[in-house]
Structure 1
Amino acid sequence: AVAIIMISLGFNNLNAWGLMLARPAAPFTLGGLSPAPFMIILGIVFIQGFFAWSHRRVAKKKTPLLALEVLDSPAERANIAAFLVIGALGPAVNFLIPLYIQIVQNRTSLFTAVAVVPYTLAIAAAAVLIVRLFGRLSPRQIAVAAFILVAIGLTMLAITVRNEWTTPVVIFSLILVGLGEGSLLTLLFNVMVSASPKELAGDVGALRGVANNLSTALGTAFAGVAAVVLLSLFVTSSLAQSSIPDSLKGQVNLDNVNFITNDQLETVLAETTATPEQVAEAVRINEGARLRALKASFLILAAISLLALVPAMGLPSYVPGEIPSGSPPAKRKQRVDKVAKHA
């Protein structure tokens, strides 16, 4: 729990506290450095320590907090890795889409809620219907196809998002992402459950809960950090090539660049010495930087989805009715039967 809290706090505050150098909002500094990345590293160390402690308890014939059998094979570790990725991609998309609709498009929250309904329905439909393929295709085949589908949908979003709302194309892209996401969530949880005996159902549920909470926090935080960092880079680059004088730049806090609407930017510039021409130039830069940052963010998520093909290739390559004797479920069943026999 401490490790998850540390990692979540670190990722969630990378923007506010600083990626490397500490910002004024940081609660404390480490020699002028931001505490956020150190909290992430410390959380990872705590996770490693937890597993080392669990292994020692098992060696001493004591019961660990989490049965390590749920992660004792490469296929199970690949499954949880894939689960973490898709569990993070969903919240990341849910963060970026409202940002696009409400900030770039300047639409209402009600419009946003209506616009994402097809995406939500696609997730639900895929989660229910994908079970029909379990007897025909292996988990590996389904996972690979689903991650590719998610990558295609995210790439289409990166290509099609505009400053003008293009409803059909954007919604179709979201539907593709939703179909892949819903399929993966159901598939990976099914693999997680079927790979362990009923005696470990509680541990499987606990592992899923931890993975779900961690991936949700990381997905939202990563999307926020990536989008804001990219926005800052694009704004800085555009300002350097613009006709806006340094005297005006000094009146605006460029160290805290964030997504704002054109109206909000005009309100900020109204308190400066900016001329109408300079305000129009600043609005143009803001519009371009926002859109480029969102496009780049979607492309990064698409790349992550393709990278997830690595753990996806480690999933079982057999259908439920063809479980080979050397597979993790078969081996574990043999161990459980052996223990029960001696008991």
Structure 2
Amino acid sequence: MIVVVLTQIQASFSINALTVSMAGITTDLDTPATSVGTAITAGTFAMAAFILLGAKVGARFGTRGVFQIAVAIHAVAMATVAAAATPAMLFVAQAAAGTVISLVAPALTVFVAVNYRGSQQAKAIGLLAAAIPGAGVLALLIAGTFATTIGWRWSFWLMVALGVLNFLLSFRLKKVPAQPGLSIDWIGALIAAVGIILISFGFSGLATWGFWLATPHAPFDVLGISPAPLLALAGLLFVQFFFMWLRKRTREGKPRIFDLRVLATGSERAITLCMGTMLFVGSAANFLIPLYMQVVQGRTGLETSFAIIPYTLSIFLASTFIAFLYTRFTPRVLATAGFIVVAAALTLLAFTVRGEWGQLSIIAGLILLGLAQGSIVALVFNTLLSAAPRQLAGDVGAWRGLVHNTFASVGIALATTLAVGTLTALLLAGAEEHPEISEDLISQVNFDDANFLTNEQLEDALADRASGAELEAAIEVNEHARLQSLQLSLLALAGVALLAIVPATRMPGRRKGDLPEKLEPDDDDVIEDDDSVDESDVSEGARP
């Protein structure tokens, strides 16, 4: 369990460290804050693109051996991040790190499934889920301190050392037998990877290339339309084709890159949707808050860390202890209540956030959000793993990683697009409502290229264009637009959380603590033992 938790921390720390170190990276590499978000999505989308293949590679060549190679390569990628001299270098290193994590994530789930049963398994899954926010807490404390004192790069050198430690400790893990006769569905893996990569470029480019009409930053356009929505649409079509391919391979009895029995019932598909929605909302909020504090308020990484520690710590605690509620409440009840709390917390934040984060109401909102988010993420993962046959643990782990990284990255991308788009509209409206701001100044500003700026950065940008009362009015408009765009973005996320109540009501009404050896029938989402069901009798991912 120590190896599992430390490796999950190694995999998750870098993303949190990038967020906390945003101010230092933007200054050191002379790049806008949105490019840090692009680097984050590069790693998470790369993992999502290849994680289904990673699960099969681990099964084919031996989970422990593949795991060890991946941990070592990830350490090298972290060294590259630490030595990055350009935004492109940072982007490539994060993409490489995400690619090898696609081998690590399924292995961690396999290790848990092989070594634990029953209530121990539920608690082990809670610890695995808690390791992600645990890495967040460490990143807030360590990366925040390093970014303010000795430099942001030392956080990633620390991950290199942790990678070496995990590699050495991994030799104490029990070997999971390889399956040398396992055939890998390379075509299915390619279709999945292309689909995820297209989605990644599409959603990541929404903020800079244009949500619909192409901006000057777009690499190309189609009749003036931005490539971002076109790539995202193409990616979604590939995803649809991927599931068609899997059903075809299932009918023909051929190996497939992902076993559809993981999503055999409506209940399991609802679990996936709940998982994705929570990760979408949580990642978006987790990106908006540091963005606002560091870029808008001009706070240091250490100040940001201490301000949002209650939020991250509450995620950690909820992920760890939610297993104790499994015997009292059904997943359906826990998930529904969780999303209601998430929506309430985001609404509370939206209506109480001001220029400072020290208010009691804001701290309470962050804690509520963290408790609900941690509970839901651990709950849905455990419910999905408990419902699947034990031999599909690798597929469950891969699916969890794919959903986690895809929805988290889309959440960051859309949150950036929504916040910047709202900021643009508010800046333009505010400028037109202030008579102190001249028409000449408004015509000189490219509002379509707006971004979050501190008061000092805005003063520098307008130094040769405005002064006196006009500059003061521009700063006032900027302050109001920044705050209101954050509030509206948080309210939009609250609405998404409320929509998730619908699939939450389709989650199981009862759970079984251990992985069944064989498939069971679906009877009103209640899982019962039925050893008479044979896996070979299942066609097209449907349970008898």
> TM-score interval w.r.t. the shorter chain?
over 0.9
By relative contact order (CA 8 Å, sep 6+), the higher-ranking structure is 1
Determine which of 400, 405, 409 is the counterpart of 1:208. 400
Q: 1:240-291 CA deviation, whole Å, 9 max, x = no partner? A: 211112111122222211110011111111121x231000000010011111
Matching residue's letter, 1:271 = D
**Equivalent-residue separation in structure 1 for 2:217 and 2:296 (angstroms):** 27
The residue aligned with 1:101 is 293
**Equivalent-residue separation in structure 1 for 2:424 and 2:303 (angstroms):** 27
Structure 1 segment 110-259 matched on structure 2, within 5 A: 110-243=302-435, 244-259=437-452
- Aligned partners of 1:194 and 1:329 also within 8 Å: no
**Equivalent-residue separation in structure 1 for 2:318 and 2:426 (angstroms):** 37
Question: Deviation of residue 46 (structure 1)?
Answer: 0.3
Matching residue's letter, 1:228 = V
2:255 matches 1:63:
yes
Once structures 1 and 2 are overlaid, which stretch shifts more, 235-244 or 163-172? 163-172
2:463 matches 1:265:
no
Matching residue's letter, 1:279 = L
Once structures 1 and 2 are overlaid, which stretch shifts more, 96-105 or 22-31? 96-105
**Equivalent-residue separation in structure 1 for 2:529 and 2:348 (angstroms):** 43
Q: Structure 2: 5+ residue runs without aligned partners?
A: 1-192, 514-519, 538-544
Q: 1:27-55 CA deviation, whole Å, 9 max, x = no partner? A: 11112110000111111100000000111
Superposition TM-score, scaled by structure 1 size: 0.94
Identity over aligned residues, as a percent? 43
Matching residue's letter, 1:255 = D
Matching residue's letter, 1:9 = F
Q: 1:32 to 1:54 in 2, by over 3 A?
A: same
2:209 matches 1:17:
yes
Secondary structure of the residue that 1:188 maps to in structure 2?
Answer: helix
The residue aligned with 1:290 is 482
The residue aligned with 1:40 is 232
- Aligned partners of 1:196 and 1:329 also within 8 Å: no
2:495 matches 1:318:
no
Q: 1:106 to 1:332 in 2, by over 3 A?
A: farther
2:335 matches 1:335:
no
Question: Deviation of residue 317 (structure 1)?
Answer: 1.2
Question: Deviation of residue 336 (structure 1)?
Answer: 3.2
**Equivalent-residue separation in structure 2 for 1:128 and 1:107 (angstroms):** 31
How many positions carry a matched residue from both structures? 338
Matching residue's letter, 2:198 = M
**Equivalent-residue separation in structure 2 for 1:163 and 1:200 (angstroms):** 49
- Aligned partners of 2:198 and 2:232 also within 8 Å: yes
Question: Deviation of residue 333 (structure 1)?
Answer: 5.4
Question: Deviation of residue 72 (structure 1)?
Answer: 1.5
Question: Deviation of residue 166 (structure 1)?
Answer: 3.4
- Aligned partners of 2:282 and 2:373 also within 8 Å: yes
- Aligned partners of 1:196 and 1:332 also within 8 Å: no
- Aligned partners of 1:146 and 1:181 also within 8 Å: yes
- Aligned partners of 1:13 and 1:36 also within 8 Å: yes
Q: 1:338 to 1:324 in 2, by over 3 A?
A: closer
Q: 1:15 to 1:189 in 2, by over 3 A?
A: same
2:290 matches 1:92:
no
Secondary structure of the residue that 2:253 maps to in structure 1?
Answer: coil
Matching residue's letter, 1:58 = T
The residue aligned with 2:470 is 278
Question: Deviation of residue 332 (structure 1)?
Answer: 7.8
The residue aligned with 2:16 is none
Which runs of at least 4 in structure 1 moved beyond 6 Å after TM superposition?
A: none
The residue aligned with 2:90 is none
Matching residue's letter, 2:222 = L
Matching residue's letter, 1:262 = N
Once structures 1 and 2 are overlaid, which stretch shifts more, 187-196 or 242-251? 242-251
**Equivalent-residue separation in structure 1 for 2:231 and 2:366 (angstroms):** 34
The residue aligned with 2:243 is 51
- Aligned partners of 2:521 and 2:527 also within 8 Å: no
Matching residue's letter, 1:122 = S
Question: Deviation of residue 15 (structure 1)?
Answer: 1.1
Q: Structure 1: 5+ residue runs without aligned partners?
A: none
Secondary structure of the residue that 1:314 maps to in structure 2?
Answer: coil
Superposition TM-score, scaled by structure 2 size: 0.60
Matching residue's letter, 1:11 = F
**Equivalent-residue separation in structure 2 for 1:164 and 1:123 (angstroms):** 22
Q: 1:222 to 1:297 in 2, by over 3 A?
A: same
Question: Deviation of residue 325 (structure 1)?
Answer: 7.1
Question: Deviation of residue 168 (structure 1)?
Answer: 2.7
Question: Deviation of residue 222 (structure 1)?
Answer: 1.2
Q: 1:311 to 1:41 in 2, by over 3 A?
A: same
Q: 1:123-166 CA deviation, whole Å, 9 max, x = no partner? A: 01001111111011000000011111111111111011112443
- Aligned partners of 2:511 and 2:527 also within 8 Å: no
Q: 1:276 to 1:65 in 2, by over 3 A?
A: same
